[in-house]
Structure 1
């Protein structure tokens, strides 16, 4: 249900707005405030519709909001767009979730959407492609909700495979064994893609970048191998090479 008077339910309502700064976002300390907030989407929609310039709203900084507005200049009402999002995915999968599903799905979406987008960006995705792939994974999850026991892991694997199909227009089994050894060009103009660690990861060969992304997300080599559809030994070998290459890049760029 869309909350009109969302400010009275915001998790940050007892905090000084100035505390939710861009610097704090970079350090990740505000995550506990925005993540899990029951009206995070309403907050973000309000900031986008009213072109709020300063501060963190709905888990996004002013720079991230400006980037989103530039990418989607034709959106007239973000509140309407976000409010209708659930109706759109329900129609697409032909289900009508009940109240319990609504609450669980919203909680899962709020907890993992941003994290999964970040995971795909670390793996080499541009932010718009990452967002589309993660959203598509959530839509698919709605149709198989009761059949999936480990939903966060399922979402990560599904989002990764959807991204591969999106950018290569091929099947996952054909893709993972044909990744080129030369690193892909960095075409992103997004704020998150300009962080130092993302830029260093983008200098690695695609397979090394992908396995590092899974590693950063807490996956073991066996879990990474299963998600990517490659032998575990292949993952371990690429992890060793990636860590060695990343260490050299960090030292070269004076980040030690």
Structure 2
């Protein structure tokens, strides 16, 4: 669950929405367990599609809060770690959606060929998007470091 939630957060979801989508996706997997050939990619695809539907809804979050301790954020002393993750998310947030999507799948352990199969792209296009995303993210990090 934690990895699935992180995958969704890397694609732009807030923690609460990511947790809800992950839970719903796992429930769907349980309901169709006998039909699923490859559970991990199936669940990640279902979750990614649910996130796209959620993002397309018009709703504003007025501000981000430091999350209260939950099973997803169990240690109150991990706020520094959380802040670092938020900075990484700001870098990812500036990337085009396709590059961010490919990075999220990559961070979740999928190969370019597996990603291509799940999101309906050519493996070479996935590799190209991944390369562009890594370059853009590295440049944003460099700019942030120079600015501080």
TM tier, smaller: 0.7 to 0.9
**How far is 1:153 from its partner?**
2.3
**2:21 pairs with one of 133, 136, 141:** 133
What's the TM-score, normalizing by structure 2? 0.74
Using a 3 Å threshold, how does the CA distance of structure 1 residues 144 and 121 change in structure 2: closer, same or farther?
same
Q: How far apart are residue 150 of structure 1 and its match?
A: 2.7
Larger fraction in helix: 2
Correspondence list, 1:1-256, <5 A: 113-168=1-56, 189-191=64-66, 195-254=86-145
Q: CA deviation at 1:129?
A: 2.2
How has the CA–CA distance of structure 1 residues 243 and 186 changed in structure 2, closer, same or farther, with 3 Å as cutoff? Answer: farther
Question: Aligned equivalents of 1:228 and 1:162: distance in 2?
Answer: 13
Which one is further off, 144-153 or 221-230? Answer: 144-153
Aligned-pair Cα RMSD in Å: 2.5
Larger RCO (CA within 8 A; separation ≥ 6): 2
**Structure 1 length-normalised TM:** 0.45
Aligned residues: 128
**How far apart are residue 140 of structure 1 and its match?**
0.7
Distance in 2 of aligned mates of 1:186 and 1:221:
33
Query: Structure 1's 149 and 188: CA in aligned 2 closer, same or farther, altered over 3 A?
Result: farther
For the 8 Å contact 1:127–1:190, the answer to whether it is kept is no
Could you list the runs of 5+ residues in structure 2 that have no partner in the other structure?
67-81
Q: State the distance in 2 between where 1:128 and 1:243 align.
A: 27
Report deviation, 1:144: 0.9
Contact kept? 1:133, 1:163, Cα under 8 Å: yes
Go from structure 1 to structure 2 and tell me whether the alpha carbon gap of 1:227 and 1:211 turns closer, same or farther (over 3 Å shift).
Answer: same
Structure 1 residues 154 and 187, CA gap change in structure 2 (3 angstroms): farther
Cα distance in 2 for partners of 1:229, 1:132 equals: 25
Q: Give the unaligned 5+ runs of structure 1.
A: 1-112, 170-184
Larger radius of gyration: 1
Deviations 1:186-224 (A, max 9, x none): 977154586221111111111111111111111111111
SS in 1 for 2:34: helix
